[in-house]
């Protein structure tokens, strides 16, 4: 055993070379790099927030469009039916088509008989949307009958395929004109109203507004 | 192991403690270039395998087990003829120009290289790493008795090499 110890002592008497500094550096760098937290460009939680924001943005952008489409649908029905024959907003041609045979000569009024203002229409529509009143079966049947008549059907189908988009800014525009009138800027109001008529030919001008723009009676 | 939890300081401490031993353990078996290549490979392997390290095992044992396995792989791939390397080592030296003790050490180191793989590794594990006989056996995947036998043969052969130079 002492012989082994001698040999061991001889071996241990030799120089003890160390790894080169460059090698140490390489190994240490690799070790540090391996445990370094990986910086992803977008952390997972940030991705979740981004997705939520996009979803919220989509909802806020799509909701007015959906409402607007519903408004258009109601408007079309309002414009084509007599005042008492209001049709449910969701009632579409698809429902009406197979309905009972109706008089083919059913007249279609492109303009409503009622003298309702644009604001009134909007109000009624919003109320209609909120309450979703169930009209009595007779009104519905009448509506079905009118809609199922071929010329009307064609017209409605065409109208639905190329929907009239009423920008939500129409009300604002009207309010602006009223504001101009309130401010006494009559000429400007008239000009704006002319522009409005060109841009929104399908929107009725509130009677109160037209009355204010009429020249006063000189008699 | 703190390094597993991301402590680079823990790694630096371990590295500082074992770097010299591992380096010499390889340098006594291979030429400098190969030893350095293997040295780097071994540490990279350890870094990559840090998550698999079980705290129940001693780090030193694990370190040399990884080193031993890497050397075994290296032999398998390269079919190194250690004897040829050793003779080159001896021939490049000019014994008459170096001091007597240096000459003895050169012969010893050359003799170590000429040992069979398992004997050489057992001898170097004993001399360079401070592992116990049981731990050497564990690292080499051998029984304690066969490890003891390898060491005995290695010592005997080295003595034979040093005959006439060293008492």
From residue A171, how far is each of A60, A63, A83, A156 by CA, in Å? 20, 18, 22, 25
Instruction: Give residue B144's pLDDT band: very low, low, confident or very high (50, 70, 90).
Output: very high
Asked if the Cβ–Cβ distance from B104 to A10 is below 8 Å, we say yes
SS3 A202: coil
Give the HSE-up count for residue B66: Cα atoms under 13 Å, Cβ half-sphere.
Answer: 22
Asked if the Cβ–Cβ distance from B20 to A12 is below 8 Å, we say no
Asked if the Cβ–Cβ distance from B127 to A18 is below 8 Å, we say no
Q: Which of B159, B155, B141 is nearest to B71 (CA)?
A: B141
**What is the per-residue DSSP string for A9-47?**
HHHHHS------HHHHHHHHHHHHHHHSPP--SS-HHHH
Distance to chain B for A30, nearest Cα, Å: 7
Tokens of B113: 């290289």
The residue of B2, B17, B23 whose CB has the most chain A CBs within 10 angstroms, and thus the best one to mutate to test that interface, is B23
Q: What residues of B are in contact with residue A30 (Cβ under 8 Å)?
A: 43-44, 47
Per-residue model confidence (pLDDT) at position A106: 43
Mean pLDDT score, B68-91: 64
Specify whether the CB–CB gap between A115 and A159 falls below 8 A: no
Q: At CA B57, angle to CA B56 and CA B61, rounded to 5?
A: 170
Read off φ and ψ for residue B51, nearest 5 degrees: -70, -20
Residues B32-60: tens digit of each pLDDT: 999 999 999 999 999 888 877 777 678 88
B5 secondary structure, DSSP code: G
Per-residue model confidence (pLDDT) at position B99: 62
Describe chain A by its helix, strand, coil percentages, rounded to 5.
65, 0, 35
Q: What residues of A are in contact with residue B10 (Cβ under 8 Å)?
A: none
Residues A182-206: tens digit of each pLDDT: 888 888 888 888 888 877 777 777 7
Specify whether the CB–CB gap between A164 and A202 falls below 8 A: yes
Name which residue leads in pLDDT, B19 or B50. B19
Q: Which of B128, B129, B118 is nearest to B151 (CA)?
A: B118
Mean pLDDT score, A177-185: 88
Which residue on chain A is closest to B152 by alpha carbon?
A4
Distance to chain B for A47, nearest Cα, Å: 25
Q: Looking at chain B from residue 111 to 150, which residues have their Cβ under 8 Å from any Cβ of chain A?
A: 126-127
Residues 6+ apart with CB under 8 A from B157: B111, B114, B115, B119
Per-residue model confidence (pLDDT) at position A84: 47
The yes-or-no verdict on residue A158 having pLDDT over 60 is no
Q: Please give the ipTM for the structure prediction.
A: 0.78
């Amino acid at each position: 055993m002492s012989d082994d110890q001698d040999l061991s002592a001889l071996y241990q008497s030799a120089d003890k070379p160390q790894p080169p500094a460059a090698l140490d550096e390489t190994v240490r760098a690799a070790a540090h790099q391996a445990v370094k937290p990986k910086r992803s460009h977008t952390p997972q939680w940030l991705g979740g927030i981004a997705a939520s924001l996009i979803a919220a943005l989509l909802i806020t952008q799509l909701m007015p469009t959906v409402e607007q489409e519903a408004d258009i649908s109601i408007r079309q029905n309002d414009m084509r039916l007599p005042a008492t024959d209001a049709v449910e907003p969701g009632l579409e041609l698809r429902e009406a088509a197979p309905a009972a045979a109706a008089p083919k000569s059913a007249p279609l009024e492109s303009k409503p008989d009622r003298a309702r203002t644009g604001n009134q229409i909007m109000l009624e529509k919003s109320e209609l949307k909120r309450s979703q009143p169930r009209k009595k079966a007779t009104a519905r049947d009448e509506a079905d009958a009118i809609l199922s008549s071929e010329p009307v059907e064609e017209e409605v189908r065409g109208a639905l395929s190329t929907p009239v988009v009423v920008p939500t800014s129409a009300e604002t525009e009207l309010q602006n004109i009223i504001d101009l009138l309130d401010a006494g800027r009559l000429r400007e109001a008239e000009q704006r109203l002319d522009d409005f008529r060109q841009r929104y030919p399908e929107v009725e001008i509130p009677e109160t507004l037209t009355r204010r723009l009429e020249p006063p009676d000189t008699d | 192991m703190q390094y597993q939890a991301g402590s680079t300081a823990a790694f630096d401490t371990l590295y500082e403690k074992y770097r010299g031993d591992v380096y010499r353990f390889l340098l006594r078996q291979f030429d400098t270039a190969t030893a350095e290549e293997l040295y780097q490979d071994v540490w990279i392997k350890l870094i990559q395998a840090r998550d698999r390290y079980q705290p129940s095992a001693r780090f030193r044992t694990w370190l040399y087990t990884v080193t031993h396995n890497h050397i075994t792989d290296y032999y398998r791939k390269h079919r190194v003829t250690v004897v040829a390397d050793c003779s080159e080592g001896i021939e490049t030296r000019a014994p008459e120009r170096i001091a007597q003790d240096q000459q003895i050490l050169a012969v010893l180191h050359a003799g170590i290289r000429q040992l069979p793989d398992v004997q050489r590794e057992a001898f170097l594990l004993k001399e360079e790493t401070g592992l116990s006989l049981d731990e050497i056996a564990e690292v080499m995947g051998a029984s304690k008795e066969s490890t003891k036998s390898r060491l005995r043969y290695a010592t005997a052969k080295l003595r034979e090499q040093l005959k006439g130079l060293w008492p």
